[in-house]
Amino acid sequence: MRDTVQAEVIMTFLVSEELSFRIPVELAYDSSDPYAVKFTFHLPGDAPVTWAFARELLLDGLSQPSGEGDVHIAPASAQHLSDVFIRLQVGGEGALFRAGAAPLVAFLDRTDRVAPLGEERSVADFDYDLAAALDSILAGNTEGQNAG
């Protein structure tokens, strides 16, 4: 059975020290990929952009700077849980967002009810998914597969 969790939060897109604006961001979790969360950013004038990264990275970033590579998450204050900075990096280009920690904690709590952290393997049927993917590849059926 496939369970999903969805939420929408408003984040601040920090373009520069002088310019920022609020944008809606859709959060999604799907038990068929139990280790990941997806954030879809709705930037004005652009097509929505979706980033997928480890659910554990989001959890860790609420309390301490976390992340390597393209996604970095860190609390805005070391003293109390209030806001979180999320930095997304692609090559030399980056985007910085500020989000309230409370809606992220609520979202993570809902994902934990679907697949408790540390028990993700018991939620997803990786053996079945792998077997189905291999059967499809061996049959030469690449339709519907996605490269990422």
Q: Residue 137 has what pLDDT? A: 73
CA 129 to the chain's CA centroid: 21
- The structural domains of the chain, ordered by start, are 4-140 (2.30.31.20)
Q: Residue 133 has what pLDDT? A: 59
Give the least confident one: 20-24, 59-63, 88-92: 88-92
Contacting residues for 113 by C-beta, under 8 A, at least 6 apart: none
pLDDT in tens, 26-85: 999 999 899 999 999 998 888 999 999 999 999 999 999 999 889 999 999 877 778 999
**What average pLDDT score do residues 105-116 get?**
94
d(CA 54, CA 67): 9
HEC secondary structure over 12-35: EEECCCCCEEEEEEEEEEECCCCC
Distances (CA, A) of 114 to 101, 108, 118, 121, 129: 20, 10, 12, 12, 19
Element (H, E) at 129: helix 126-138
% of the chain with per-residue pLDDT over 90: 61
**What average pLDDT score do residues 97-112 get?**
96
Let me know: does 101 contact 112? Beta carbons within 8 Å: no
